[in-house]
Amino acid sequence: EAQVTQNPRYLITVTGKKLTVTCSQNMNHEYMSWYRQDPGLGLRQIYYSMNVEVTDKGDVPEGYKVSRKEKRNFPLILESPSPNQTSLYFCASSPGTANSPLHFGNGTRLTVT
């Protein structure tokens, strides 16, 4: 089944404790990205990647890191999480061509205390 797999679904952590949210897609998509969803703000892009070893900042990259060592994986890393990073996170992928929609993972609800 074609899908974007994101883990974990829920994560509670404390300020400053490094964490990684994994994302993997099995559709051979070129393009992958991370979004955070906050009430009243919709989804905002954190980072994106057009291909292996190519990553770029989105609209809200501060406090996040990503890597794209393989085509299928695009982990999101929070080196020192803070409470303002409490949010719902989505990984998404697409073929990267015109009119291609984003395929989303099931989301990760992160709480930083």
Partner 1 sequence: AQTVTQSQPEMSVQEAETVTLSCTYDTSENNYYLFWYKQPPSRQMILVIRQEAYKQQNATENRFSVNFQKAAKSFSLKISDSQLGDTAMYFCAFMNLNYGQNFVFGPGTRLSVLP
Any contact of residue 71 with partner 1 (CB under 8 A)? no
Closest distance to partner 1 from the beta carbon of 71 (Å): 16
Window of 15-23, 60-68, 71-79, 101-109 that interacts with partner 1 by CB under 8 A: 101-109
Q: H or E stretch including 45?
A: strand 42-51
| Residue from the set 87, 94, 110, 112 that interacts with partner 1 by CB under 8 A | 94
- Identify the residue whose tokens are 């994986």: 73
- How far is the C-alpha of 20 from the C-alpha of 106, rounded, in Å? 16
Per DSSP, the three-state class of 85 is: helix
Any contact of residue 89 with partner 1 (CB under 8 A)? no
Any contact of residue 56 with partner 1 (CB under 8 A)? yes
